[in-house]
Chains A and B, each alone.
Chain A
Amino acid sequence: MEINQKTRNDVEIIFITGRLDAYNSNLVEKKLNEIIASGKINIVADLEGVEYISSSGLRVMLSSLKKLDKLGGALKLCSLQPYVGEVFEIAGFTQLFEVYDESNDAVSSFSDN
């Protein structure tokens, strides 16, 4: 599992590569919690490098979304692989998250609001 971070237009982008399963998801959770604790509340998770996600990965995303929502921020997603997109769909999470094709679109959507 590899997690890289970039800041663009005051939006934090995390690039996740690997499997978002029960074993690895806590690493992503830790990273998201660190970002939120540092006061950054507009986050984009780029999932281009994620080919597998289970309910553990989904829960991590949901819990961060809820935290950010309370703080007036948001977690937005981009570049989902087809299978990962399907899993989000089955879980009904596409109703909860804003999903974009590319990170640029996700980042600029924050300034559009």
Chain B
Amino acid sequence: MNPDTVDRPGVDKEILASLKLKAELKLLPIVLRAVRDVAYNYGLDKASVRDLELATEEACHNVIEHAYEPGEEGYYQVKIHREPTCFRITVQDQGMPFNLQRLNRDETSDIGVKLMRACTDEIRSRYLGKRGKVVELVKNFSFESVEDLDVPTVQPNAVKMASASEKLTLRLMRPDETVSLARLIYRVYGYTYPHEDIYYPEKFASLLESGLVTSCVAVNEQDEIVGHLGVFLETPEDHVGESALAAVDPRYRGRGLFPKMKKMMMEEIAAKGILGLYSRAVTVHMASQKSNVKMGSKETGFILAHSPPTTIFKKMKTEPASIRRTVALFYVPVVPDQEQTVFLPCKHQEIIRKIYNHTGLSRVIKKADPESMNLAPHSHIHSHVLPEMASAFLRVKLFGVDFIDELKLQIRDLKLRGTELIVLDLPLKDPNTAILFPEIENMKFFFGGIMPEYLEGDSIRLQYLHNVAFDPESVDVYSEFAREIFDYVVGEWKKHNLE
């Protein structure tokens, strides 16, 4: 990150600047100057600022050249957003509709599109009905890895147990403690922890400040972090968080720190209005699954070939680059569950009913009537792309008449960008999910499980694997019920990928 960044207390998603300009070339330098200055002053490094500026120029120039007829007076709006881990520029105009799909094609002839794609981590384009069209350009912050910091590390094997009389305190973590946390994670996991954010202390601090991460820590008498449990929200509007980064310093094991931290976190996030916690447990061994079950979490699905080796893994060359690991999905409510109505896709009704029974969640199951399909003029699909994981997470917020086309477009774009895994969450309270489901499955998406309360209510989670080898034998499954779901998911994968 840029070291001269201005102070940003409590940074969340925020619009730092908004400009409305006449679509004329002579005003373009004003936009570029604004992008340059704002992005640099708010933490983006110099090379990334230049990338963002170049992508913005291409998007704006496109509007200036093509959105309005010669002589027609037209305007466009540029907004500069800062989010905890990225900058997002939106360029919106109300001019002539043009084919936004070209942004997603690998056209060698369109130099501007090529540059936009190369200079950003994500590009989205949407029609907004009468409000025109918008192009979104995302540039992620590049954070300094803990590996690059001058952090003394302790070899994981050199363990001497701490004195049993030493007092430990549980409290919420402060953003200035991320290096100390990175050290703990190193002691426990080496560089093998799949959430790469943890190895980038500044990035993790930014997530804590934004409220997207809440962390509970156990500290010893020297105020050193010896235990940690975090809850991550993907967006500030989420009703469920992900329980992650559970770590207890080997010197302080055997004191029941993990259950104590989990209890504290459950109370903490319940007070913030969060309904439950989900987690993704690795399946290269059974310890994480076992620990989830022990803490009262229930299995709700599997994501096959979910995580690639981290880039740090790659640097360390500990594993072949092609291995992606499967995770088991778990859920536990933190407040009493409220009954809700869900519309289930016919094909998967039985397994979903079993998952609901297993989790103890009370649901009224209804059948969707295809005659009553009600689609909005435009779809809203939220995407969260993780280029370093070659993964993308899509959530359907609204089904529109263009849904299938929009989804196809996004898949094509993600595949062109080398995405290997696409996870798609569809709202089960919306009958359109059940009605459109066969068409979505025809696009090679296959069932992965359910995510309670993930989308203003439960979601059905689908997955799409692109050029990824997967071996069911490489997965260790802990419980009998997990085995049943896993076999079901593998069966679906075979149907959609091998037949």
Partner-B contacts on A (CB < 8 A): 21-23, 52, 54-56, 58-59, 83, 87, 90-92
Is the beta-carbon distance between A22 and B118 smaller than 8 angstroms? no
Is the beta-carbon distance between A58 and B26 smaller than 8 angstroms? no
Q: Count contacts between A and B, CB distance < 8 Å.
A: 42
Closest B residue to A52 by CB, please name it: B50
Q: CB within 8 Å of A: which of B3-55? A: 25-26, 28-29, 32, 47, 50, 53-54
Is the beta-carbon distance between B115 and A52 smaller than 8 angstroms? no
Which residue from A23, A52, A54 sits with its C-beta under 8 Å from B58? A54
Q: DSSP majority for the B interface?
A: helix
Is the beta-carbon distance between A55 and B50 smaller than 8 angstroms? no
Is the beta-carbon distance between A21 and B118 smaller than 8 angstroms? no
Is the beta-carbon distance between B25 and A91 smaller than 8 angstroms? no
B378 interface residue (CB < 8 Å to A): no
CB-defined contacts of A87 to chain B, threshold 8 Å:
54, 115
Is the beta-carbon distance between A23 and B111 smaller than 8 angstroms? no
Q: CB within 8 Å of A: which of B53-85? A: 53-54, 57-58, 61, 64
Q: Complex Cα distance A58/B58, Å?
A: 12
CB-defined contacts of A59 to chain B, threshold 8 Å:
111
Which residue from B28, B32, B47, B108 sits with its C-beta under 8 Å from A83? B47
Partner-A contacts on B (CB < 8 A): 25-26, 28-29, 32, 47, 50, 53-54, 57-58, 61, 64, 108, 111-112, 114-115, 118
CB-defined contacts of A52 to chain B, threshold 8 Å:
50, 53-54
Which residue from B25, B29, B115 sits with its C-beta under 8 Å from A55? B115
Known contacts A23-B29, A54-B115, A90-B114, then 15 further A-B pairs from the complex at CB < 8 Å, ordered by chain A residue: A21-B32, A21-B57, A22-B28, A22-B61, A23-B25, A23-B28, A52-B50, A52-B53, A54-B58, A54-B112, A55-B112, A56-B61, A59-B111, A83-B47, A83-B50
CB-defined contacts of B53 to chain A, threshold 8 Å:
52
Is the beta-carbon distance between A90 and B118 smaller than 8 angstroms? yes
Closest A residue to B57 by CB, please name it: A54
Which residue from B47, B54, B64 sits with its C-beta under 8 Å from A54? B54
Q: Complex Cα distance A83/B48, Å?
A: 11
Is the beta-carbon distance between A55 and B47 smaller than 8 angstroms? no
- 27 CB < 8 A contacts A-B: A21-B29, A21-B32, A21-B57, A22-B28, A22-B57, A22-B64, A23-B25, A23-B29, A52-B50, A54-B57, A54-B58, A54-B61, A54-B112, A55-B111, A55-B112, A56-B61, A58-B111, A59-B111, A83-B47, A83-B50, A87-B115, A90-B115, A91-B111, A91-B114, A91-B115, A92-B108, A92-B114
CB-defined contacts of B57 to chain A, threshold 8 Å:
21-22, 54
B324 CB to closest chain A CB (Å) equals 28
CB-defined contacts of B115 to chain A, threshold 8 Å:
54-55, 87, 90-91
Closest B residue to A56 by CB, please name it: B61
Is the beta-carbon distance between B111 and A22 smaller than 8 angstroms? no
CB-defined contacts of A55 to chain B, threshold 8 Å:
58, 61, 111-112, 115
Q: Complex Cα distance A55/B26, Å?
A: 17
B286 CB to closest chain A CB (Å) equals 46
Which residue from B28, B47, B64, B111 sits with its C-beta under 8 Å from A21? B28
Q: Complex Cα distance A76/B369, Å?
A: 66
CB-defined contacts of B29 to chain A, threshold 8 Å:
21, 23
Q: Complex Cα distance A55/B28, Å?
A: 14
B258 CB to closest chain A CB (Å) equals 47
Closest B residue to A26 by CB, please name it: B25
CB-defined contacts of B112 to chain A, threshold 8 Å:
54-55
Top 9 A-B pairs, shortest CB-CB distance: A55-B112, A55-B111, A90-B118, A22-B61, A54-B57, A91-B111, A23-B29, A23-B28, A55-B115
CB-defined contacts of A22 to chain B, threshold 8 Å:
25, 28, 57, 61, 64
Closest A residue to B54 by CB, please name it: A54
CB-defined contacts of B108 to chain A, threshold 8 Å:
92
Q: Complex Cα distance A92/B109, Å?
A: 10
Closest B residue to A54 by CB, please name it: B57
Q: Complex Cα distance A83/B108, Å?
A: 20
A9 CB to closest chain B CB (Å) equals 32
A32 CB to closest chain B CB (Å) equals 18
Q: Complex Cα distance A23/B25, Å?
A: 6
